[in-house]
Structure 1
Amino acid sequence: MARAPSLRQNGGNNREIRAMGEDASGFRVFLENLKRRKVIRVAIGYAVAAFVLMQIADATFEPLNLPDWSATLVLWLLVLGFPVAIFMSWMLEVTPEGIKRTDADTPQGGALKRESAEPAAAAGTRATRAAPEPAPRPAPGPPPAAVAPPDDGRRSIAVLPFVNMSNDKENEYFSDGISEEILNLLVKLPRLRVASRTSSFAFKGKEASIPEVAGKLGVETVLEGSIRRAGDRVRITAQLIEASTDSHLWSDTYDRELKDVFAIQDDIAQSITDALEMTLTPKERRSIQNVATADAGAYDYYLRGRSYMYTMTKHDYEHAINMFKKAIVHDDKYALAFAGIADAYSYMFRYTDAQKENARSALEYSEKAVDMDPDSAEARASRGLAMFINERYEEAEEQFKRAAEMNPNLYEAWYYAGLAYSSQGKFTEAIEMYKKANQVNPLDYQSAMFLGQAYASLGQKHEEMKARVASIELIERHIEMNPHDTRALCIGANQLSNVGELERGERMVEEALIRGKDEPLVLYNTACFYAIKGDEERALELLEDAVKKGWGDRAWLETDSDLDAVREDPRFQALLDSID
Structure 2
Amino acid sequence: MKLKKYIAELKRRNLFKVAITYLIVAWIVTQVFSIVLPTYGAPVYFMKILILVLVIGFPVTLVFAWIYRAPLMPTSDITNVDGPHSVISKQESQHILYHNKLVVLPFQNISPDTDSNYFSDGLTEEIIIRLSAIKELDIASRSSCMRYKDTELDNITLGYELNAKYLLQGTVRKLKDDLKISVALIDVQKDTQLWAEIYLGKIADVFDIQEKVSKRIVNSLQIKLSSQEVEALGKRATTNSDAYDANLRAREFLFRYTKSYLRIAIDLFQQAIDLDPKYAAAYAGMAEACALLYETHDKKQKWIDKAEESALKALIYDSTSSEAYSALGLVYYNKNSPKEALIAAEKGIAFDSNNFFAYWVRGRLFRVMDRDAEAIHDFNKALELNGDFHSPYGDLQMAYETLNDQEMLQDTIERAVLFYPKYLLHHPDDSRAHQFYAFTLFRLGRLEEAKTEMQKGVAQNPKDPIIVYNAACFYTLINDKEKAIKSLKTAIDNGFENYDYMRHDPDLNSLKKEPDFIALMEGN
- Give the TM-score of the pair, scaled to structure 1: 0.61
Instruction: Say whether the 8 Å CA contact 1:414–1:433 is kept in structure 2.
Output: yes
2:46 aligned residue: none
Partners of 2:246 and 2:282 in 1: CA distance: 9
Match of 2:172 among 222, 226, 234: 226
Deviates further, 186-195 or 316-325: 186-195
- The CA deviation string for residues 356-387 of structure 1, in whole angstroms up to 9 with x for no partner, is 32222112212211222221111111222222
Match of 1:372 among 317, 321, 340: 317
- Identity in percent: 25
Mapping 1:95-110, distance limit 5 Å: none
Partners of 1:578 and 1:280 in 2: CA distance: 67
Deviates further, 401-410 or 486-495: 486-495
2:331 aligned residue: 386
Partners of 1:554 and 1:158 in 2: CA distance: 48
Instruction: Name the amino acid aligned to 2:106.
Output: L
Pick 1 or 2: higher relative contact order, CA cutoff 8 A, min separation 6.
1
Instruction: Say whether the 8 Å CA contact 1:425–1:559 is kept in structure 2.
Output: no
2:181 aligned residue: 236
Instruction: Say whether the 8 Å CA contact 1:298–1:330 is kept in structure 2.
Output: yes
Deviates further, 394-403 or 501-510: 501-510
Match of 2:141 among 193, 202, 207: 193
Tell whether 2:280 aligns with 1:335: yes
Instruction: Name the amino acid aligned to 1:160.
Output: P
Partners of 1:578 and 1:257 in 2: CA distance: 59
Structure 2: 5+ residue stretches without partners: 8-70, 72-79
Q: Which has the higher helix share?
A: 2
Partners of 2:311 and 2:171 in 1: CA distance: 33
Instruction: Say whether the 8 Å CA contact 1:374–1:380 is kept in structure 2.
Output: no
Mapping 1:307-346, distance limit 5 Å: 307-309=252-254, 311-346=256-291
2:198 aligned residue: 253
Tell whether 2:427 aligns with 1:482: yes
Tell whether 2:358 aligns with 1:413: yes
1:404 aligned residue: 349
Partners of 1:566 and 1:281 in 2: CA distance: 65
Instruction: Say whether the 8 Å CA contact 2:83–2:147 is kept in structure 1.
Output: no
- The CA deviation string for residues 137-171 of structure 1, in whole angstroms up to 9 with x for no partner, is xxxxxx955532587979685743542547x8886
Partners of 2:87 and 2:479 in 1: CA distance: 39
Instruction: Say whether the 8 Å CA contact 1:158–1:195 is kept in structure 2.
Output: no
What is the CA-CA distance between 1:448 and the residue it aligns to? 3.3
Structure 1: 5+ residue stretches without partners: 1-21, 27-123, 125-142
Mapping 1:443-462, distance limit 5 Å: 445-462=390-407
Does the C-alpha gap of structure 1 residues 186 and 538 become closer, same or farther in structure 2, counting only changes over 3 Å? farther
Does the C-alpha gap of structure 1 residues 284 and 257 become closer, same or farther in structure 2, counting only changes over 3 Å? same
Partners of 2:497 and 2:351 in 1: CA distance: 31
Tell whether 2:379 aligns with 1:431: no
Does the C-alpha gap of structure 1 residues 161 and 554 become closer, same or farther in structure 2, counting only changes over 3 Å? farther
RMSD: 4.6
What is the CA-CA distance between 1:472 and the residue it aligns to? 1.9
1:147 aligned residue: 84
Instruction: Name the amino acid aligned to 1:338.
Output: Y
Partners of 1:443 and 1:275 in 2: CA distance: 34
What is the CA-CA distance between 1:307 and the residue it aligns to? 4.3
- The CA deviation string for residues 197-249 of structure 1, in whole angstroms up to 9 with x for no partner, is 98677x6xxxx64559x99xx85767341134665x64322345699999756
Instruction: Say whether the 8 Å CA contact 2:172–2:182 is kept in structure 1.
Output: yes
Instruction: Say whether the 8 Å CA contact 2:258–2:431 is kept in structure 1.
Output: no
Instruction: Say whether the 8 Å CA contact 1:335–1:370 is kept in structure 2.
Output: yes
Instruction: Name the amino acid aligned to 1:387.
Output: Y
What is the CA-CA distance between 1:273 and the residue it aligns to? 8.1
1:503 aligned residue: 448
Query: SS at 1:195's partner residue?
Result: helix
Give the length in aligned residue pairs: 432
Mapping 1:100-139, distance limit 5 Å: none
Instruction: Say whether the 8 Å CA contact 2:472–2:488 is kept in structure 1.
Output: yes
Partners of 2:189 and 2:447 in 1: CA distance: 40
Match of 2:307 among 362, 366, 390: 362
Instruction: Say whether the 8 Å CA contact 1:376–1:406 is kept in structure 2.
Output: yes
Instruction: Say whether the 8 Å CA contact 1:384–1:396 is kept in structure 2.
Output: yes
Does the C-alpha gap of structure 1 residues 344 and 467 become closer, same or farther in structure 2, counting only changes over 3 Å? same
Partners of 1:496 and 1:340 in 2: CA distance: 33
Instruction: Name the amino acid aligned to 2:410.
Output: M
Does the C-alpha gap of structure 1 residues 426 and 568 become closer, same or farther in structure 2, counting only changes over 3 Å? farther
1:113 aligned residue: none
Query: SS at 2:85's partner residue?
Result: coil
Tell whether 2:241 aligns with 1:296: yes
Partners of 2:456 and 2:422 in 1: CA distance: 17
Partners of 1:237 and 1:183 in 2: CA distance: 16
Does the C-alpha gap of structure 1 residues 569 and 395 become closer, same or farther in structure 2, counting only changes over 3 Å? farther
What is the CA-CA distance between 1:310 and the residue it aligns to? 5.3
Tell whether 2:444 aligns with 1:524: no
Deviates further, 495-504 or 530-539: 530-539
Tell whether 2:126 aligns with 1:181: yes
1:107 aligned residue: none
Instruction: Say whether the 8 Å CA contact 2:322–2:348 is kept in structure 1.
Output: yes
Instruction: Say whether the 8 Å CA contact 2:131–2:139 is kept in structure 1.
Output: no
What is the CA-CA distance between 1:318 and the residue it aligns to? 3.4
Partners of 2:121 and 2:315 in 1: CA distance: 26
Tell whether 2:415 aligns with 1:470: yes
- Give the TM-score of the pair, scaled to structure 2: 0.66
Instruction: Say whether the 8 Å CA contact 1:186–1:194 is kept in structure 2.
Output: no
2:38 aligned residue: none
What is the CA-CA distance between 1:563 and the residue it aligns to? 5.0
- The CA deviation string for residues 541-577 of structure 1, in whole angstroms up to 9 with x for no partner, is 4344334324466787688665565578787788789
What is the CA-CA distance between 1:325 and the residue it aligns to? 2.8
Partners of 1:422 and 1:528 in 2: CA distance: 21
